[in-house]
């Protein structure tokens, strides 16, 4: 089968990905093999390719927003019938016995595994996953538009929850790519006022089309103080900018797995008056199930730019250079 692998992590323009042939993987106990139909392209894939995240295994296949169809089942796998449409997301295994798993915080598991980092992901024609960590994909989304829901959507949803936006509150979104344009729609559906701050003019236009009250540059101040904010851009320099936009008691959630260095923060200026700075770490399966049901219920609009699988390297380059509208998706 065809598959892309991270051969030499480095700047995306240096070609860190390599397309080659792999053996078709066999599903183990409790696993299913999926014929990949589409795979979303995530900024985490870019961090992996460029070496911001060190690969957990040599020549790992990226991709963790996988939509496909069950074509083989390992011993004991009974959850899905043959041919079922399923999703494979970032979190692919937790220990189930550590204190975090036992309290319902499996995203903080001490022995987790992740798709496209610990194990091969969806930049390939086939992929395997434990059936317990696969998602039953909702109707109402075709394969291309379903793929970004599996990370961009789920992580954006968790970030929105971590930001503790009050009912009818004012939300600031810094960076407006795949995840942000989905989280914004959830917030809007819940009655929030959304202000977007991003460097891309195209992204600002999309934000306004989706219902944002304003769209400005990333270092501009929103037109009103914010109850909550989410930082999607991997730029630590924007942390003080976002904190300064918060009203008293406001919360900033940082949604990325990687962030450049945060400048020194003056406590009185940025954090006093009970402003909070919070991180977001992966998600639980419950987060994913809640978000997928919500996305179907509110009819979330997924904006995508599609690429054939053989152009995955181009998709990542375009993502790096902010040349993608919405979410990039690889189509087999």
Tens of pLDDT, residue by residue, the chain (332 residues): 999 999 999 999 999 999 999 999 999 999 999 999 999 999 999 999 999 998 898 999 999 999 999 999 999 999 999 999 999 999 999 999 999 999 999 999 999 999 999 999 999 999 999 999 999 999 999 999 999 999 999 999 999 999 999 999 999 999 999 999 999 999 999 999 999 999 999 999 999 999 999 999 999 999 999 999 999 999 999 999 999 999 999 999 999 899 999 999 999 999 999 999 999 999 999 999 999 999 999 999 999 999 999 999 999 999 999 899 889 999 99
- Please name the CATH architecture into which domain 154-279 falls: 3-Layer(aba) Sandwich (3.40)
Name, in order, each residue with C-beta under 8 angstroms of 264's C-beta and a sequence gap of 6 or more. Answer: none
- List, by residue range, all CATH 3.40.50.720 domains of the chain: 154-279
Residue 28 Cα distances to 56, 76, 129, 130, 180, angstroms: 20, 9, 9, 8, 36
Query: Looking at the domain covering 2-141+302-331, what would its CATH class be?
Result: alpha beta
From CA 173, how far away is CA 271, in angstroms rounded?
Answer: 18
The CB-side HSE value for 278 (13 A sphere, CA atoms) comes to 20
Residue among 52, 66, 64, 67 at smallest CA distance from 16 = 52
CATH 3.90.180.10 domain residues, the chain: 2-141+302-331
Q: Report the C-alpha gap between 318 and 330 in whole angstroms.
A: 13
């Amino acid at each position: 089968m065809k598959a892309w692998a991270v051969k030499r992590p480095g700047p995306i323009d240096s070609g860190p990905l390599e397309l080659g042939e792999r053996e078709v993987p066999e599903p183990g106990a409790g696993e299913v093999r999926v014929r990949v139909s589409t795979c979303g392209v995530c900024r985490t894939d870019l961090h992996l390719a460029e070496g911001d995240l060190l690969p957990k295994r040599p020549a790992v296949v990226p991709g963790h927003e996988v939509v496909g169809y069950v074509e083989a089942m390992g011993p004991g796998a009974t959850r899905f019938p043959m041919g079922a449409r399923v999703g494979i997301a970032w979190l692919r295994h937790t220990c189930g016995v550590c204190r975090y798993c036992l309290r319902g915080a499996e995203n903080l598991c001490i022995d987790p595994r992740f798709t496209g980092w610990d194990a091969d992901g969806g930049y390939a024609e086939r992929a395997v996953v434990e059936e317990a960590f696969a998602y039953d994909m909702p109707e109402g989304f075709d394969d291309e538009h379903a793929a970004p829901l599996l990370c961009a959507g789920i992580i954006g949803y968790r970030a929105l929850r971590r930001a503790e936006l009050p009912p009818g509150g004012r939300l600031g979104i810094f960076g407006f790519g795949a995840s942000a344009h989905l989280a914004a729609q959830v917030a809007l559906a819940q009655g929030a006022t959304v202000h977007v701050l991003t460097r891309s003019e195209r992204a600002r236009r999309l934000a306004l089309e989706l219902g944002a009250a304003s769209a400005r540059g990333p270092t501009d101040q929103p037109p009103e103080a914010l109850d909550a904010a989410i930082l999607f851009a991997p730029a630590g320099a924007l942390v003080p900018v976002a904190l300064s936009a918060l009203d008293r008691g406001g919360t900033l959630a940082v949604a990325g797995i990687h962030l450049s260095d945060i400048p020194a923060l003056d406590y009185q200026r940025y954090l006093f008056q009970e402003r909070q700075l919070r991180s977001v770490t992966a998600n639980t399966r419950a987060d994913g199930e809640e978000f997928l049901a919500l996305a179907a219920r509110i009819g979330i609009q997924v904006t995508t730019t599609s690429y054939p699988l053989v152009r995955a390297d181009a998709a990542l380059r375009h993502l790096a250079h902010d040349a993608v509208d919405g979410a990039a998706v690889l189509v087999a």
